[in-house]
Amino acid sequence: MKQIEESHGPDPVGKHIDRAVLYAALEGILPDDAVLVDDEDLHPYECDGLSAYRQLPVAVTLPRTVEEVQEVMRVCHSLEVPVVARGTGTGLSGGALPLADGVVLSLARLNSILDIDPVGCTASVQPGVRNLAISEAARPYGLYYAPDPSSQIACTIGGNIAENSGGVHCLKYGLTVHNVLQLEVVTVEGERLTLGGGALDSAGYDLMALMIGSEGMLGVVVEVKVKLLPIPERAQVVLAAFDDVEKAGIAVGEIIAAGIIPAGLEMMDGPAIQAAEDFVHAGYPVNAVAMLLCEVDGSNQEVSEHILEVRELLKRCGATEVRTARDDGERLRFWQGRKSAFPAVGRISPDYYCMDGTIPRHRLPEVLKRTSELSKEYGLRVANVFHAGDGNMHPLILYDANNPGELERTEALGGKILELCVAVGGTITGEHGVGIEKINQMCVQFGEEELEQFRAVKRAFDQKQLLNPGKGVPTPRHCSEYRLLRAGDGVEGEVHPGAGEP
């Protein structure tokens, strides 16, 4: 496994911390079992879902109350020790990767559902509550929490907020930011802020939206009020096979143009279909070049009407097969295949690397074509899974970390794919965040003007750069070095679309 050899961000501020002083301070404010310092205890925290990168922290703290979180922040702030907040570590971009000179602040023990309000349709929960647990608690009231990342069994709402997570239903129901009403946040100094409110809008700057997706770099979320939605009366899914990716791409556009907003609209390519089918036997068309899953939900009548319309559209767009799930069992199997696509691919390859970029929907065919060319160029197979409705693609690069140089080649290919996304007018992250993974591509996505504004906002929350430093936003030096490197590779100029230019 690869150890990080260089810092991606600013020079760590607490490099020469006195461990004994830090341990004593932490043990003075937390119970014994809430401070981990031995290597064997620290190992489970050495990485998140981007497991190619691993690092032991100086300590892990496991506070049980908001007050304890505040105390941890006060201690670390006064000793100038960096802090990396963490949920269950399912993140895919290394946002929760520990720092060698830093403390991990695990929010796993703040895991209570504080209140379900069936009249106001809200839930107030602690950050360590799992995404799916919110919907489970709301179900008796006929309500649920909409965003459903693939990891929803395990991932926490705190982590969802850090990454602004989506899921297969985000086309209709939005990302985390669209489903959160209020946050309680502990600042780097240990103060408590209330951001947002019970209404659509709130007074003052929208610091709640700013906090969502900020990857632990602006504050530590300690309480969340989310919106709950009524469980739809009915959901139904249509599967369509295509012998051509472009036809599938056109069908996506036609469905949306018809005024139907599907609850989910997903695409998989041949390799992803085959891997998923081998794994969960969902009944997928294994010879198809591309497959769409289109789910509609709502009232019984509305769903019937939309399903008919979607079927007609798919046939007109040249689908070779159109199949409506016969019952709820088949519907769930169709989805299980999609939701298991990542582990399914894991079965056919020793390792895989999940990318996360967005593109304008209509650029899909050319992006898939170019990805396929890049795949050959780098000698690495790629399976494609795609939130087609909102243009969020997840190419999975298959590799074997035991082959010398293959991880590096995989990362290089991944970087190329992300830069391709930017070149067609897309972005380098749809829902997984930047973390350490895409810090290079931030220099491609943005001009120095935007990056400098990001840094200024960061300083407005964290003057000493103690909250998850080195993640998310690259330093000017990092970008100038990376741009030189790209220029040396023969990539000309900057790709970012128009930023900073008149």
Site for a second copy in 2-61 (CB under 8 A): none
Smallest gap from residue 117 Cβ to a second copy (A):
9
* DSSP state letter for 501: -
Which of 28, 44, 360, 379 binds a second copy (CB under 8 A)? It is 360
Kindly give the pairing relationship between strand 220-227 and strand 229-230.
Answer: unpaired
- State both tokens at 236: 């139904």
Residue 474: alpha-carbon gap to chain centroid: 19
Smallest gap from residue 471 Cβ to a second copy (A):
11
Binding mask 319-358 for a second copy (x = CB under 8 A): ---------------------------------------x
Using CB under 8 A as the binding rule, the residues of this chain from 380 to 409 that contact a second copy are: 390-392
Q: Which is nearer to a second copy, 204 or 490 (CB)?
A: 204
Tell me how far CA of residue 99 lies from CA of 8, 27, 211, 251, 470, in angstroms.
Answer: 11, 20, 21, 46, 9
Which of 107, 282, 428, 436 binds a second copy (CB under 8 A)? It is 428
Q: How many CA atoms lie within 13 A of 23 on its CB side?
A: 11
Using CB under 8 A as the binding rule, the residues of this chain from 129 to 148 that contact a second copy are: 142
**249 binds a second copy, rule: CB under 8 A:** no
Smallest gap from residue 497 Cβ to a second copy (A):
7
Smallest gap from residue 250 Cβ to a second copy (A):
10
- State both tokens at 231: 């469980």
CA dihedral 273, 276, 282, 286 (to 10 degrees): 30
Using CB under 8 A as the binding rule, the residues of this chain from 482 to 501 that contact a second copy are: 496-501
Query: Who's near 195: CB < 8 A, 6+ residues apart?
Result: 182, 183, 184, 185, 207, 208, 211
Mark the segment that binds a second copy (CB under 8 A) among 13-21, 62-70, 77-85, 241-249.
62-70
Using CB under 8 A as the binding rule, the residues of this chain from 94 to 123 that contact a second copy are: 118-121
φ and ψ at residue 98, rounded to 5 degrees: -65, 160
Three-class secondary structure of residue 209 per DSSP: helix
| Per-residue three-class SS string for 230-291 | ECCCEEEEEEEEECCHHHHHHHHHHHHHCCCCCCEEEEEEHHHHHHHHHHHCCCCCCCCCEE
Q: Which is nearer to a second copy, 121 or 491 (CB)?
A: 121
Q: Which is nearer to a second copy, 100 or 256 (CB)?
A: 256
**Count of residues in the chain:** 502
**365 binds a second copy, rule: CB under 8 A:** no
Smallest gap from residue 365 Cβ to a second copy (A):
13
Smallest gap from residue 427 Cβ to a second copy (A):
5
Under 8 Å between Cβ of 150 and 167: yes
**192 binds a second copy, rule: CB under 8 A:** yes
Using CB under 8 A as the binding rule, the residues of this chain from 171 to 190 that contact a second copy are: 174-175, 177-178, 187
